[in-house]
């Protein structure tokens, strides 16, 4: 026993190094399966208020641009109000059931240059935000909430290797998947395009509505380059993201009101 | 403020803040992420006990992790860097005598010594950090490019900080 202690004391530097590395790696691994975000919730409050202090300053500098973007969005929304349509036959005017509610939020911290990028929003549990809600910017899809504290929430942006957005090609409703390859924050990859589909530069890629996160028809990006390879079953294309992640500031959190029922359905299917 | 322990704690907080508030937002072509905070591990005095070296580096990494949502990655890289530090010092200092009271800085040990000392340690830190961040092997060359470019940018900033805080006599 005494020899053991002597050995430990002699090489304590090495053993301590091993212990600390094991600790870090267990943190990395625990963190990588992402519902396990206990750490976030405890630290969100501190880091969130530090970031907000400095974000307030930079907000002032980009107010003009933010105003412009919001005004543009207002115009689009105005076009969708009931009085913007000519109602010829009131009986056939169809209202869809509300499926999504939107909570407006501000980005207080953002990254784009990592392999896995996150941004933090100034809305939290108090405002009804929950994990696994989608985040959209005025221009298009932005990310998915992964953890929530009382006043803040953290979302992984589309610039993350765990995010796959279920998408479809607007012109022909063919479904595909959007991922990010870690190179350029402006460009994503559209995967699993059937070989018989031909895409052209400028074709719109929108959300499919198959996932719980995003409503159907939100713009993800537009096609930049499509290379067809005939020997493979499914093709890839490069798209330009609709959202400029570098200047993202005002966003909306999409709250799916039916998520519980949808989950239940899927679980009952899996149990059978 | 004359106590070196307090001085280093203030330096620690200062580096964490400028890293997360300024340098994490610096945008240089998407490949470059300067991680200036490692200068803390580089310039700790030679007399720092090894356990304190490891522990403070681990805590430094963890603090950065909390702000960047990369729990554990910076901590692992910093601990590794701190572990390599004594070895690198004894490898480089065989020709030079380290007297008590000296710090690993350009002022005390000369430019070329400090350059090779920091280039090795920063490279090791960035190597582990970037590969842990990617966590897969199919982007191995792209990641290596990012490691090398970022190492040089961090190195330049470390040298500037060194001239800034350790003024020549």
Query: Which pLDDT value is given to residue A93?
Result: 47
CB pairs under 8 A between A and B: 95
Query: What structural domains does chain A harbor?
Result: 38-82+96-161+247-257 (2.40.10.340), 165-241 (2.40.10.350)
Angle, alpha carbons A125-A126-A128 (nearest 5°): 65
Structural domain boundaries of chain B? 4-165
Q: What is the mean pLDDT of residues B46-74?
A: 87
Would you call B133 and A114 a contact, using CB atoms and an 8 Å cutoff? Answer: yes
Query: Which pLDDT value is given to residue A158?
Result: 92
Question: Among A16, A37, A155, A179, which would you mutate to test the B interface (most chain B Cβ atoms within 10 Å of its Cβ)?
Answer: A16
Chain A residue with minimum CA distance to B20: A51
Chain A residue with minimum CA distance to B27: A113
pLDDT band at B121 (very low <50, low <70, confident <90, very high): very high
Query: Which pLDDT value is given to residue A95?
Result: 47
Q: How far apart are CA A54 and CA B80, in angstroms?
A: 32
Angle between helices B111-134 and B73-92 (to 10 degrees): 150
Query: Which pLDDT value is given to residue A42?
Result: 53
Would you call A24 and B70 a contact, using CB atoms and an 8 Å cutoff? Answer: no
Average pLDDT by consecutive 10-residue portion of chain A (272 residues)?
78 86 84 53 67 74 79 73 54 56 85 87 88 88 91 91 89 90 88 85 88 86 84 84 89 83 83 74
Query: Which pLDDT value is given to residue A83?
Result: 57
Query: Which pLDDT value is given to residue A84?
Result: 53
Q: Which residue has the tokens 């992640």?
A: A245
Q: What is the mean pLDDT of residues B70-92?
A: 89
Which one of B69, B75, B134 has the shortest CB-CB distance to A118?
Answer: B69
- CATH entry, B4-165, from 1.10.357, 1.10.1760, 1.10.10, 1.10.530: 1.10.1760
Nearest Cα to Cα of residue A22 among B140, B137, B79, B88: B79
Q: Chain A closest CA to B26's CA: distance in Å?
A: 9
Nearest Cα to Cα of residue A154 among A117, A126, A114: A117
Would you call A28 and B50 a contact, using CB atoms and an 8 Å cutoff? Answer: no
Q: How far apart are CA A109 and CA A118, in angstroms?
A: 8
pLDDT band at B60 (very low <50, low <70, confident <90, very high): very high
Buried b / exposed e over A183-221, threshold 16 CB at 10 Å, is eebbebebebbeeebebeeebbbbbbeebbbbeeebbbb
Query: Which pLDDT value is given to residue A36?
Result: 46
Token pair for residue B26? 């610096």
A-chain residues within 8 Å CB-CB of B24? 111
pLDDT in tens, B3-21: 778 888 888 998 888 888 8
pLDDT over 70 at B116, yes or no: yes
Which one of B33, B51, B75 has the shortest CB-CB distance to A16?
Answer: B51
Q: What is the mean pLDDT of residues B114-119?
A: 90
Query: Which pLDDT value is given to residue A35?
Result: 45
Chain B residue with minimum CA distance to A110: B25
Q: Chain A closest CA to B25's CA: distance in Å?
A: 7
Chain A contact for B72 (CB, 8 A cutoff)? yes
Which one of B67, B73, B82 has the shortest CB-CB distance to A28?
Answer: B73
Query: Which pLDDT value is given to residue A242?
Result: 92
Would you call B50 and A13 a contact, using CB atoms and an 8 Å cutoff? Answer: yes
């Amino acid at each position: 026993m005494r020899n053991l202690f002597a050995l430990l004391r002699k090489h304590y530097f090495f053993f301590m190094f091993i212990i600390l590395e094991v600790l870090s790696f267990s943190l990395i691994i625990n963190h990588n399966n992402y519902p396990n975000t206990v750490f976030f919730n405890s630290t969100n409050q501190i880091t969130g208020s530090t970031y907000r202090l400095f974000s307030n300053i930079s907000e002032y500098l980009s107010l003009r641009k933010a105003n412009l973007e919001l005004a543009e969005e207002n115009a689009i929304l105005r076009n969708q109000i009931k009085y913007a349509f000519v109602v010829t036959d009131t009986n056939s005017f169809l209202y869809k059931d509300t499926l999504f509610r939107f909570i407006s939020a501000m980005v207080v911290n953002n990254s784009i240059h990592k392999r896995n990028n996150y941004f933090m929003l100034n809305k939290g549990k108090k405002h009804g935000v929950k994990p696994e809600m989608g985040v959209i910017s005025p221009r298009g899809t932005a990310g998915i909430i992964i953890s929530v504290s009382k006043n803040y929430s953290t979302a992984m942006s589309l610039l993350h290797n765990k995010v796959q957005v279920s998408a479809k090609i607007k012109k022909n409703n063919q479904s595909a998947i959007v991922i990010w390859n870690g190179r350029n924050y402006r460009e994503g990859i559209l995967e699993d395009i059937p070989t018989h589909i031909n895409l052209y530069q400028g074709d719109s890629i929108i959300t499919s509505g198959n996932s719980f996160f995003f409503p159907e028809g939100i713009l993800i990006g537009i096609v930049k380059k499509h290379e067809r390879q005939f020997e493979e079953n499914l093709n890839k294309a490069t798209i330009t993201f609709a959202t400029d992640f570098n200047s993202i500031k005002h966003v909306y959190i999409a709250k799916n009101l039916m998520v519980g029922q949808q989950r239940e359905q899927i679980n009952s299917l899996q149990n059978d | 403020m004359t106590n070196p322990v307090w001085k280093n704690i203030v330096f620690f907080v200062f580096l964490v803040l400028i890293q997360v508030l300024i340098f994490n937002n610096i945008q240089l072509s998407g490949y470059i992420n300067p991680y200036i905070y490692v200068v803390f591990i580089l310039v700790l005095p030679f007399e720092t006990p090894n356990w304190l070296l490891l522990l403070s580096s681990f805590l430094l990494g963890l603090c950065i992790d909390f702000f960047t949502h990369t729990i554990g990655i910076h901590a692992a890289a910093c601990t590794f860097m701190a572990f390599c530090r004594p070895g690198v010092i004894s490898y480089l200092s065989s020709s030079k005598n380290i007297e008590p009271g000296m710090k690993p800085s350009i002022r005390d040990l000369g430019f070329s010594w400090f350059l090779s000392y920091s280039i090795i340690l920063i490279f090791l830190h960035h190597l582990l950090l970037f590969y842990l961040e990617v966590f897969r092997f199919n982007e191995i060359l792209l990641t290596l490019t990012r490691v090398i470019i970022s190492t040089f940018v961090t190195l330049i900033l470390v040298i500037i900080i060194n001239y800034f805080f350790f003024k020549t006599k």
